Structure 1
Amino acid sequence: MTTTAPSVTAQTPPPPQLSSVGSGGLRWALVDSWVLTQRALSHWVRNPGPIIFSLVFNVLIVLMFVYLFGGAMQVPGGGEYRDFLLPGMFAMTMLFGIGLTTLAVTTDVERGVTDRFRSMPMSSAAVLIGRAVADMLFSILTLSVMIVAALVIGWRHHGTTGDFLAAIGLILLLRFALIWIGVYLGLAMSSAEAVTGVQTLEFPIGFLSSAFVATSTMPVWLGAIADWNPLSSTVNATRELFGNPGVASGSWITDNSMLMAVVWPVVLLLVFFPLSISAFRRLSR
């Protein structure tokens, strides 16, 4: 009589999901996130053209406004337009990053890369976290290039080292919140071509703020809208921390720019982070 031992089939444990908790799931998610971050970085190394173009474009915008339009610009309270503009441009470059994030996410979805990641034994949270970390690293590079360019053309900060670091922190906090807007839009877009609309909207949103001109020079109703633009709060707060001219005042939102420069990014995160997770889970399997 022959006895057959029951076969044992080795199974790969399921990957941690976005809702995973515990040290094991967290460790797995962090490792996978770093792998996907390196993937994004390697793409930039192999194809640096878009990255270089983005950096050069931002610098050209600064040069254009400082040297072409700067002579016609009046800063409330006096001061150099260059010093007024640069904090606004630092924040604007963070806004311009929405289109890059949206395009990267949409391209992966359209090519089926995201679906392949979802089918692999890896943390699904890493797909979003890896994208966010890579884009934050690029934002730090972008901001560093902008600061060097600003110093070359004569911009200076007049606050303490602590104030300078606090201003940089507020700018990067805004960028982190904007990344999740880009992630959500990238997951929601039907094709990479639709991203053109997002990139086009970056300009009116940026111009409808205190980044380029003082909102006090706008019609009252338009100035009020610009003051409540989250970008304006970051710009006004960083101008104050850098000790640059044109610090806004006169309304509750402008008088509390330092507070709102923290509140606005937190609100955006509370809205778009859950939306991004929901959109990710709704992707076709």
Structure 2
Amino acid sequence: MTIAPPLSAPAIGKGRVSRRRRPRSAMPGLGLTLGLTWLWLGILVLLPLAAVAAKSLSLGPAHFAEVAFSPRALAAYRLSFGAALAAGAINTVFGLLIAWVLVRYDFPGKRLASALVDLPFALPTAVAGIALTAIYANTGFLGGLLQAAGIKIAYTPAGVVLALVFIGLPFVVRTVEPVLSDLGKDIEEAAATLGAGRATIFRRVLLPEIAPALLTGFALAFARGVGEYGSVIFIAGNMPFQSEIAPLLIVTQLEQFDYEGATAIAAVMLIASFVLLAAINALQARERQWRSTGQ
């Protein structure tokens, strides 16, 4: 009995040579989702930023420098970025403290305290500004007491910092809180059994773990503070060279129909914010690399 030879590849495929298929991804749809992601980011983020850059470049270098770096604009930049940095630093300390209390302890009213942390997210910024002004003005309850002690909050740069602390606190708390929850108490107890004190446990054990989250919360609070408008204009006083923030100066330029000047100031704030956020992200990447290498 004669056995027929095995069929060749072209015979099996009826004249077509079989091709090796590309391995299928475990999560299909990368091309479509990636395209939609870039499209959505382009429409919402890149296109408006490109419009601001293009409008500001139409001024020409001389006019751009004259408007964007005028003494009034420089004073507004110093207040906006300085107050945002100060408020971010304050929120980093007290946000960590509040997150620690909410995660580590059980106490009556814990749910209420957690809900109050999120209140600046839900509260309209104008309402927050009016409330802070009513409390800290000279005729307010706390403002009157502070005025008697020689401390003035409302209508000063200190009022700007106070408003930015109010609206930036949830960013730090909600960023650090899940990290603390994942850590648990085991590592603290293990360090304590080895003879480490509370300060040493926090500095050598906890802080390296929560540092990236703290930097992220600071960056979010800072970014929100730089562009904040509604909660600041009521308590700031809006005096040029004293308590005028950069977003208010942009609105002032728009009210005077100086659209090019407004976009020039906006472009400077945009570039400065990008530089600061890039520096913070670089610090976070360096921290992660240091932790991964164990150096």
- Find the structure with the greater CA-based Rg: 2
* TM-score normalised to structure 1 length: 0.31
